[in-house]
Amino acid sequence: PYVPTLHFNYRYFELIDADGKVHWWYGGGTDMTPYYLNENDCKHFHLTLKKACDKHDHSYYPKFKKWCDDYFNITFRHNERRGIGGIFFDDLNQPNQEECFSFVKDCANTVIPSYIPVVQSNYQRSYTTEERDWQLLRRGRYAEFNLVLDRGTKFGLQTPGSRIESILMSLPPVAKWKYAWDYKADSPEMKLMKVLKEPREWV
């Protein structure tokens, strides 16, 4: 429960018209889903992403951070975000292919330095049954987003002949739902919920 889930996916698309014209773009991002809020972990994660963005364009991090907060939003849960965000972008084809590829490579190379220190500082922490239950409830939210709102999942499920198991591999292997769960307003669980409802600027 004290080790966040990390999601990342960087991709290149290319389409060729009947007349031979090529259309290309990059998309993707990296975001983190903690179950208990550790502000130092969040700051480290976002700062690592910001440094990669700033190497290319200082407008990228704030723009792609907001895009991430807006995209990973479980709207039917009254605008509850899946996690504490990161960066997310699509349709990136400016200023040119070489620069876009360089940016995406730098983003991909942030995955290990942004996440492994978070894992190393938390994976040996002990936890209670109640904390494990909370993690499973949050994993339920992760499943809800992926099945109901994620564009990639929906596209895959609607594609004839697609490999369904491959598409659903992004879902957590274990999740839980509980009717009318309740936590005290000052609990660690509600500290996380406040950030999920009102995304913060971490750097």
Structure tokens at 44: 């480290």
Q: Closest Cα to residue 199, out of 90, 45, 65?
A: 65
The catalytic residue among 7, 46, 58, 78 is: 7
Q: CA-to-CA distance for 153 and 167, rounded, in angstroms?
A: 6
Tokens of 52: 């990669």
The DSSP letter of residue 146 is I
Q: What is the largest distance, in Å, between two alpha-carbon atoms of the chain?
A: 62
7 is catalytic: yes
Give catalytic residue positions.
7
